[in-house]
């Protein structure tokens, strides 16, 4: 029987019952009463029983394509593979891959991390992945994402000056792939191969302030003509050396005036553990003043443009610039570095200082129960620290003897006028 041609296929008419047009080697075209024409292949895995494999509908699948598929299926049959079963398995695999895209797996991973991470850190990671990774590889099956895909994303971030975020994204991606591997949705971690592929940005470590610099800071803060709540926020940071985000999002309900304690809930802490901050007398006095200003609000430091939100992350940095400090000269972390350095010099035990800084506890079992550990000792230490701060005279640094001093500029006119 001669092989089929496109003309013969196109002119084949429907009949009352299905019939077939043979092309040879098991391939045939089935013409149905509806007029539909389907390519099918007949095969034998055993001499006793044959099988039928549907290749597709004509003309979606052309004659040439049907013949190529016939040859592929013949090779499977030679290997003893049932092509019908293989097709079902492939369909299931494709469905599985579509439901396990990089974005889908990432969101599952983020959901798992939400119980351990602070809302701020979770939002930071989610935003970075949504902005940089999802547009490029979000819809790809995670098994198909390669190191080349990731490198392109990281290099684009590096080019626009986001080196630190690029390095963080690589670490997050590596954790996502490890999660995918243990849940049998990926074979390996392509992000691991990119360790060291990016230029590590220069780290500006937090720097402790000298007594002279603390005196300069106090003088400039006294002369600052900005919002009083911002002044109180910076004084509280100096007295308590909490993280900036912990202070900005503080709520009045967290403070106990009788015990002079501030209990920060676990969900707002970086390491998701309750943290108790003893309040020295100076901090309690500032809070009493602040209560008259923002006591009717939920937050200690509300955003006056958006009352349902808190003070913006840039407010303190802008205030420091208005006080005459070059951008980046001092940050909230520098208050923490200053306290850590000076308290060690004053002879206080490292365990007390580290607990006050809410640093990571190596013993996880112990960490679950010690949020109030060393509390009496820390109360004494915080009061001594605040008293020491108060002994430092307020005096502007006039000379330019150090690199930090060289970054000082005259206070802005409005600040000087308000000081007078």
DSSP state of 399: S
* Contact by Cβ (8 Å): 38, 24: no
Angle at 335 between CA 331 and CA 337, to 5 degrees: 105
Put residue 4 in one of left, alpha, beta given phi > 0 → left and psi -120 to 50 → alpha. Answer: beta
- Write the DSSP assignment of 12-67 as a string of letters: PPP-SS-EEEEEETTEEEEEPTTS-EEEEEEEEEETTEEEEEEEEEETTS-HHHHH
Look at residue 100 and give its three-state secondary structure: coil
Query: What distance in Å separates the CA atoms of residue 100 and residue 108, rounded to the nearest whole number?
Result: 10
Query: What distance in Å separates the CA atoms of residue 27 and residue 262, rounded to the nearest whole number?
Result: 80
Rounded to 10 deg, the angle between the 228-240 and 315-322 helix axes is: 100
DSSP state of 301: S
* 235 is annotated as an active-site residue: no
Which of 78, 205, 306, 369 is an active site residue? 369
Which of 170, 243, 371, 379 is an active site residue? 243
Which of 336, 342, 371, 379 is an active site residue? 336
Is residue 238 classed exposed, middle or buried when 0-12, 13-18 and 19+ CB atoms within 10 A define those classes?
buried
Residue closest to 219 by CA, chosen among 18, 20, 415: 415
**Phi/psi of residue 44, nearest 5 degrees:** -130, 115
Query: What distance in Å separates the CA atoms of residue 98 and residue 138, rounded to the nearest whole number?
Result: 11
Q: Compute the 3-state secondary structure of the chain and give helix, strand, coil in percent, each to the nearest 5.
A: 55, 10, 35
Query: What distance in Å separates the CA atoms of residue 404 and residue 32, rounded to the nearest whole number?
Result: 87
Is residue 401 classed exposed, middle or buried when 0-12, 13-18 and 19+ CB atoms within 10 A define those classes?
exposed
* 336 is annotated as an active-site residue: yes
Pairing of strands 49-58, 275-278: unpaired
Which of 359, 366, 395, 417 is an active site residue? 359
Which of 149, 178, 270, 322 is an active site residue? 270
Sign, CA dihedral 72-76-78-82, equals negative
* 272 is annotated as an active-site residue: no
* 270 is annotated as an active-site residue: yes
Residue 227 CA: distances (Å) to CA of 1, 43, 110, 190, 399: 95, 84, 38, 50, 29
- List the catalytic residues: 243, 270, 333, 336, 359, 369
């Amino acid at each position: 029987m001669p092989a089929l041609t496109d003309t013969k296929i196109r002119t084949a008419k429907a009949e009352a019952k299905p019939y077939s047009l043979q092309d040879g080697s098991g391939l045939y075209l089935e013409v149905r009463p509806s007029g539909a024409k389907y390519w099918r292949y007949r095969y034998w895995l055993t001499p006793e029983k044959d099988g039928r494999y549907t290749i597709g509908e004509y003309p979606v699948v052309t004659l040439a394509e049907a013949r190529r598929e016939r040859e592929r299926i013949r090779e499977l049959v030679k290997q003893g593979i049932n092509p019908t079963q293989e097709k079902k398995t492939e369909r299931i695999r494709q469905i599985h891959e579509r439901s396990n895209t990089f974005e889908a797996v990432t969101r599952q991973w983020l959901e798992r991390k939400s119980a351990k991470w602070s809302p701020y850190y979770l939002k930071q990671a989610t935003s970075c992945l949504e902005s940089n990774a999802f547009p490029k590889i979000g819809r790809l099956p995670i098994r198909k994402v390669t190191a080349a895909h990731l490198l392109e994303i990281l290099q684009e971030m590096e080019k626009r000056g986001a080196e630190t975020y690029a390095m963080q994204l690589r670490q997050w991606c590596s954790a996502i792939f490890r999660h995918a591997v243990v849940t049998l949705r990926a074979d390996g971690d392509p992000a691991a191969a990119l360790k060291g592929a990016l230029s590590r940005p220069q780290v500006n470590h937090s720097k402790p302030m000298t007594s002279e610099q603390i005196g300069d800071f106090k003088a400039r803060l006294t002369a600052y003509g900005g919002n009083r709540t911002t002044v109180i926020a910076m004084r509280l940071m100096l007295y308590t050396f909490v993280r900036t985000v912990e202070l900005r999002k503080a709520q009045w309900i967290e403070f106990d005036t009788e015990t002079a304690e501030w209990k920060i809930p676990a969900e707002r802490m970086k390491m998701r553990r309750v943290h108790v901050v003893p309040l020295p007398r100076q901090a309690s006095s500032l809070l009493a003043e602040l209560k008259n200003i923002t006591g009717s609000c939920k937050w200690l430091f509300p955003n006056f443009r958006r009352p349902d939100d808190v003070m913006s992350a840039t407010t303190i940095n802008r205030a420091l610039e208005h006080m005459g400090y070059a951008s980046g000269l001092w940050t909230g972390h520098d208050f923490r570095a200053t306290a850590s350095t000076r308290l060690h010099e004053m002879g206080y035990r490292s365990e007390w200082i580290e607990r006050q800084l809410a640093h990571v506890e190596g013993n996880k079992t112990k960490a679950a129960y010690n949020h109030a550990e060393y509390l009496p000792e820390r109360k004494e230490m915080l009061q001594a620290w605040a008293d020491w701060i108060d002994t430092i005279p307020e005096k502007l640094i006039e000379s330019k003897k150090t690199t930090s001093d060289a970054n000082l500029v005259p206070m802005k006119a409005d600040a000087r006028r308000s000081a007078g």
